[in-house]
Amino acid sequence: MPQGAYVVEVAADSAAAKAGIAAGDIITKFSGLEIHEGSDLSDAITAKKVGDEVEVEIFRDGKNTTIKVTLAASPE
């Protein structure tokens, strides 16, 4: 299993959900940056702004897939 940020839950109507990220996915890259753990992903997201479109590489069902995500404000 690759290193990365394990997705435990995806909020309904979130940018992640709209892009197709699902619970059980492992995020291995975010906007070209290697992700080794959850804090890496948090830092990478914080460096971006709402409306930015980024490529996110996920590991699902034994293979890597790259998807585009348009960042949105976190639900309150």
Residue 28 covered by a domain: yes
Residue 75 covered by a domain: no
Residue 10 covered by a domain: yes
Residue 38 covered by a domain: yes
Residue located via tokens 């971006």: 48
Q: What is the C-alpha separation between 22 and 75, in angstroms, rounded?
A: 17
Residue 76 covered by a domain: no
> What six digits make up the tokens of 6?
């394990």
Q: What is the C-alpha separation between 14 and 28, in angstroms, rounded?
A: 19
What global pTM score does this model have? 0.91
Containing structural domain, residue 30: 5-70
Task: Note the pLDDT tens digit of each residue in 25-61.
Answer: 999 999 999 999 999 999 999 999 999 999 999 999 9
